Chains A and B, each alone.
Chain A
């Protein structure tokens, strides 16, 4: 398996523009996570999906952020409108489900810069 695939790897956009980050989880994994990493706040969980359903979005910072998972092999994280403080590395991760699951597999991340 190719692992968790994220695109784009880098994104530079102007304040106010819409940004869409994409993620393909590992086939067979039914849990998907979006994390944001900054120097100030570390690695924060934004949202967690299980079987394509959003279970916990309490980490989503504002209404400007939204995430979808239309099927088991694809998820998006959208920021509209983007602001400079959204600049960060956004990671998608996936894992299997249940008590026996003990590991999350991360994609290479999308480095977002909002100018």
Chain B
């Protein structure tokens, strides 16, 4: 089976930097994804890491360490609109992309 651990809630102020951590235990591992979900909305894709290291996309970056079964999402220059839930998801099967999601982290950005 799979197990993913994320903090349930993180708070920060506008303009700050926040890091959301994810640790996982899976029988197989082929990649780690991050998704954003606003209240009442659908999960939307943010990033995918298959190899160790940092991937940067604008204000958001995602990091993976396969040896530590650990990854994080880094959000810089926080804006109010970044208030949302953030999910890490593992790809635990070779071939098809079938994400298995963690419980999500609620990010609250204060002015």
Contacts and interface: CB of A to CB of B under 8 A. Distances in A.
Contacts of A109: 42
Given A42-B101, A91-B42, A103 B48 contact: yes
A71 interface: no
Interface residues of A, number: 27
A98 B33 contact: no
A43 B95 contact: no
Contact of A103 (B42, B45, B100, B102): B45
A28 B33 CA distance: 22
Interface in A42-61: 42-45, 48, 50, 55-56
Contacts of B98: 31, 33, 45, 48, 56
Interface size range of chain B in the complex: 20 to 34
Contacts, number: 58
B31 interface: yes
Contacts of B94: 99
Contact of B45 (A44, A48, A105): A105
Contacts of A97: 95-96
A13 B98 CA distance: 31
B101 A101 contact: no
Interface string A71-115: 000000000000000000001010111110111111111000000
Contact of A43 (B45, B91, B96, B101): B101
